[in-house]
Each structure stands twice: as C-alpha cells, then as structure tokens.
Structure 1
Amino acid sequence: MFKIMIVEDDLKIAQIVKENLIKWSFDVKVVEDFSDVLSVFSEYKPHLILMDINLPLYDGFYWCSQIRKLSKVPIIFISSRNTNMDIIMAINMGGDDFINKPFSIDVLVAKINAVLRRTYSYMDVESDIVEYKDVFLNIKDNCILYKGRQIELTRNEFKIIYILMKNAGSVVSREKIMRSLWEDESFVDDNTLTVNINRLRKKLEEIGIEGFIKTKKGQGYVIL
C-alpha cells in the first residue's frame, strides 16, 4: 500500500483529501506539527508528499528543499498561489507536479497515480533515511543533515554512524564496529577506530551536533 503524507495548512482540506485517498486504498498521514515536518517524514516514510506552499513557520518551498537533501520522494505541490513564478519555483525546488486550488479529487488521484507509476516502476520504495533526535543520515549519499546544515562523510565515518544510529540507546562494542568496517578486527590497529571516531565527532560538531557519540569505557560507544 502506497503511503501519502499531506502537508497542508488548512486541516479541513487535509482531512477531506485524506478521507478520499483512503477510499482509493492509500495509507495517509496528515502533518499537524509544522515545526517538525522532517521528523514526521522520517518516521512515516511516505512514497509521495502533497505539499502546500503557505504553511506556518516555514513555507512549502523550504520543506521541499530540506526533504530533497534527504530523499527523491515525489512531491506534488497543492496551492492557491498559482502564478507562473510560484509554479516555476515549485518545480525548481524539486517538486514533481503542481495542482491549483480549488481542485477536483479525481484529478488529484489521477496525478498521484501517474507520479507513483513514473517513480516506483523503477525505484526501490524503501526509505533511504535513518533519523534520531533530528539528526538525519542519508544512506544513499553518505551525508548527515541537522537543522538545515549538511556534511559529507567518508565510507568509514558513514559505517560508524550508521551502526550507532541503528542501535541508538544501546552500547555498540568496539569489536562490533571494527567488524563492520574491516570484517576482521584482528588485522586492525585499535587506534585506527579511535582516530575515525574522533574525526567523525569533529565533523558532527561543525554543524552543531554536540556530544552525539558517547564513549562507554571498557564497553564501546553509544548514541543516547
């Protein structure tokens, strides 16, 4: 079942759209906290997003650009702002289609189905994002996004943060991390892992992520 995420300022409209899409066998999530759209996106893992332009706090263009740093999930803009400039901006920011308000539900469903066919006839529908406490790890691009700031990671840095974020809240031993990096830790100088961890911490601090990776003496590392 395809999952649709609705980011719409008018919750009455969002609810009407949701009820109609459910009739077409879509799973639907309406965003209600407009300050935390990325977290909802990461948790829900939608296959398509319906995005209004006029939103509280940040507009739809902003959220589209933030999501595009993490994912190529299709985004259809729905808005009463229908000047040529608005449509051009929507497409340039990464939107896949644009629908003017007011709109027909039948037209909306037709456009949704068309975009889904184009997108998922050749793409994997699984999410490429791991998220913990507003830190987003893009698996495909080996990069970290935090509060609009982004850094690229080396292969080893990515593997370290990936295994720690997948096991967030649990201590991961140095041996397990080294096996994930080099398969057989007996051929690796123990200091090599320490160097990689320290380099990773410095990169995280550069974009404001302080104290993300904790050391558990004699045990390993943990993200809390």
Structure 2
Amino acid sequence: MFKLLLIEDDASLFQEIKDRLLSWSYDIYGISDFSEVLQEFTAIKPDLVIIDIQLPKFDGFHWCRMIRSHSNVPILFLSSRDHPSDIVMSMQLGADDFIQKPFHFDVLIAKIQAILRRVYNYNTDQIELKTWYGAAIDYQKNTVTNDAGTVELTKNEMFILKHLIEQKNKIVSRESLIKSLWDDERFVSDNTLTVNVNRLRKKLDALGLGHFIETKVGQGYMAVEKAEPL
C-alpha cells in the first residue's frame, strides 16, 4: 500500500480527498502542525506528497523546497492558483505535476497512478547502470557521475535523460516524451516539459554535459553521443 501525504489546510476538502483516496486503497496522512511540515514528512516517509500552495505559516513552495532538500519523493501540487508563474515555480522547485482546483477526481487519480508507476516501476526491467559520453548513469540511484563530480536527478529528469540516451543521436519528439512521462498528454502542459528539460540541462552543466542535450526547434530533443566538446 502506497503512503500519500496530503498537505491541505481546508479540513472539509482534506476529508473529501482522503475518503476518495482510501477507496483506492491508498494510505493517507495529513499534517497536524503546519509549522512542522518537514518534521512530519520525515516521520511519515510517504511515497507521494500532495500539497497546496496556500497554507498557514509558510506556503507550499517553501515546503516543496524544504522537502526537495532532503528527498526526491514525487510531489504533486493541488491548488486554486492558476497563474502560469505558479506552475513554472512548482516545476522549477522539483514538483512532478500540478492540478488546478476545482478538479475532477478521476484526473487526480490518473495523475497519482501515473506518477507512482513512473517513479516506482519504470526501471524494474532495465539495467541499473549505463554510460553516456564518459559519464556513468545510475538509474537506481538517479545519479550521473564523471570526473567533474556527481549530480542527483529527480525521477522526471532521469526519465527524460533515459529516453533521450536510449535513442542517442536521434530526435525524440516533445509529444513522445510527454506521453511517456505522464501517460496521457491531455493532462500536462507543453511548458512543463520545457521546464523539466531546462532543469536537467542545468544540472548536467555542472558535469560539462548540458550542451549534449540538443534542442531541435519544432521537433524535440536529442542526446548527442559523439559530439566534440565546445
């Protein structure tokens, strides 16, 4: 049974979501003290965090940042705020997805199931270690290592890198990546993929590898295998 931490201060909405998710056999936890979210997260050790932006004490962005500093657990934002900057900020902080309130419960379930499949099952039949342009990529630990050091990726970032290097020197369309990542492209914005790829590139830059993920305008992305260093 997966453990889900629902960080929502609206008691009636929390109970409604909890009851619906319990019917899907998820184990649901809430927050008792909104000034101690990180401590409660650490004690619960959830498999997925669902968090609102507007919370008492500190907002959801603050707690997403704090959780990301300690864990790569998948994070799903659930918020009535719909400004594009809120969605972009969520992704830049390492969130896996964003749902705007009010929402259809079937969409929430689809998002949760897609994230859990992607995070906990996607690499079960894959080799755990691969090399790309002199770097060791560990699918199990979500790390990329070369002589310059090691960077840790989120599950989304590793999933994107994995798909690109498995088709090295070939263009992978944006539509293909979106469908592979989120199972159903109707539920995700095109901008979300852009943010994730840019975040992946920024991390790879620390190893001198960021420019080997090339953008093919109007087509998609390509991981270069034998490009000359710039």
CA contact (8 A) 1:51 1:77 kept: yes
After TM superposition, what 4+ stretches of structure 1 lie above 3 angstroms from structure 2? none
The count of corresponding residues between Structure 1 and Structure 2 is 126
- The 3-state SS of whatever aligns with 1:5 is strand
Following TM superposition, by how much is the alpha carbon of 1:50 offset from its aligned partner in structure 2, in angstroms? 0.5
TM-score by length of 1: 0.54
Following TM superposition, by how much is the alpha carbon of 1:123 offset from its aligned partner in structure 2, in angstroms? 7.1
Q: Does 1:81 align with 2:81?
A: yes
1:33-72 superposed matches below 5 A: 33-72=33-72
Following TM superposition, by how much is the alpha carbon of 1:120 offset from its aligned partner in structure 2, in angstroms? 0.5
Code of the residue aligned with 1:93 in structure 2: it is L
Gap runs ≥5 in structure 2: 125-140, 142-230
Code of the residue aligned with 2:21 in structure 1: it is L
Code of the residue aligned with 1:50 in structure 2: it is I
Alpha-carbon RMSD across the aligned residues, in angstroms, is 1.8
Q: From the superposition, tell whether residues 115 and 15 of structure 1 become closer, same or farther in structure 2 (CA, over 3 Å).
A: same
What do residues 65-111 of structure 1 show as CA deviations (whole Å, max 9, x unaligned)?
A: 00001100000000011110010001111110000000111110110
- The 3-state SS of whatever aligns with 2:78 is strand
Code of the residue aligned with 1:73 in structure 2: it is V
Following TM superposition, by how much is the alpha carbon of 1:9 offset from its aligned partner in structure 2, in angstroms? 2.0
Matches of 2:64 and 2:121, distance apart in 1: 23
Code of the residue aligned with 1:60 in structure 2: it is G
CA contact (8 A) 1:9 1:56 kept: yes
Aligned to 1:91: 91
Matches of 1:65 and 1:117, distance apart in 2: 24
Code of the residue aligned with 1:65 in structure 2: it is R
Q: Does 1:11 align with 2:11?
A: yes
Matches of 1:119 and 1:84, distance apart in 2: 25
Name the stretch that deviates more: 47-56 or 113-122.
113-122
Matches of 1:15 and 1:7, distance apart in 2: 12
Code of the residue aligned with 1:47 in structure 2: it is D
CA contact (8 A) 1:3 1:47 kept: yes
Code of the residue aligned with 1:56 in structure 2: it is P
Matches of 1:82 and 1:94, distance apart in 2: 18
Matches of 2:67 and 2:13, distance apart in 1: 23
Following TM superposition, by how much is the alpha carbon of 1:12 offset from its aligned partner in structure 2, in angstroms? 1.0
Following TM superposition, by how much is the alpha carbon of 1:122 offset from its aligned partner in structure 2, in angstroms? 4.7
Q: Does 1:31 align with 2:56?
A: no
| Structure with larger Rg | 1
Gap runs ≥5 in structure 1: 125-139, 141-224
Q: Does 1:111 align with 2:108?
A: no
Following TM superposition, by how much is the alpha carbon of 1:40 offset from its aligned partner in structure 2, in angstroms? 1.0
